[in-house]
C-alpha cells in the first residue's frame, strides 16, 4: 500500500485497492489541503479516473478555515470528482462531529456524490465498498485504514 507522510504528524495519504485514504491528524491548513488534493489527483491519474475516498479525522479540531472549505468546494466540482466519500471521525464527537458531517454533505452531496460519516473503520469500509468499486473486500479496507491510523 503506497503511503505518503506530509509534515509528519499532520497529513498521511495512502492508496488501498481503488480507494484513496486521507488522514488529517491536526488542524487542516490550505497547504495540507493542496497536498492532499495533489496526492488524490496523482492516484486518479494512475487508476484512470475518479475513485472512492476515505477521509479520516481523528482529533477534535476547529472546523477547517473558510479558505480550505472554499478550496474543497472548487476541487469537488472539477474533474475527476469523487466516486464516493466516507468520513471516518474516530476522535470527533458531539457538535463537532455534527458540524463536520454537515460540512462534508455541503461539499460533496450537492454534487451527487454519495457521502456518509462514521465512527468505526469497519462500518466506513463496509459502506464505501457497497457504495463504490473499491477494488478490495471491506475487511481488507478496514485493516488498511487501521494501518494508516497507526502511522
Domains contained in the chain, CATH given: 3-149 (3.30.750.24)
Return the DSSP state at 150.
Answer: T
pLDDT in tens, 75-118: 888 889 889 989 888 765 554 555 566 566 656 665 677 888 88
Give CA–CA dist 130/133, Å, rounded. 8
What is this structure's pTM? 0.86
Amino acid at each position: 500500500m503506497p503511503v505518503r507522510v506530509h509534515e509528519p504528524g499532520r497529513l498521511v495519504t495512502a492508496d488501498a485497492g481503488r480507494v484513496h485514504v486521507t488522514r488529517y491528524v491536526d488542524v487542516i491548513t490550505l497547504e495540507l489541503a493542496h497536498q492532499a488534493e495533489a496526492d488524490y489527483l496523482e492516484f486518479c491519474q494512475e487508476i484512470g479516473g475518479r475513485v472512492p475516498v476515505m477521509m479520516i479525522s481523528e482529533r477534535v479540531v476547529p472546523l477547517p478555515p473558510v479558505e480550505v472549505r472554499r478550496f474543497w468546494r472548487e476541487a469537488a466540482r472539477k474533474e475527476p470528482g469523487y466516486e464516493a466519500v466516507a468520513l471516518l471521525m474516530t476522535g470527533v464527537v458531539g457538535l463537532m462531529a455534527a458540524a463536520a458531517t454537515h460540512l462534508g454533505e455541503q461539499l460533496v452531496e450537492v454534487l451527487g456524490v454519495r457521502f456518509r460519516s462514521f465512527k468505526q473503520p469497519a462500518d466506513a469500509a463496509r459502506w464505501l465498498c457497497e457504495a463504490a468499486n473499491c477494488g478490495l473486500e471491506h475487511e481488507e479496507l478496514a485493516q488498511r485504514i487501521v494501518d494508516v491510523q497507526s502511522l
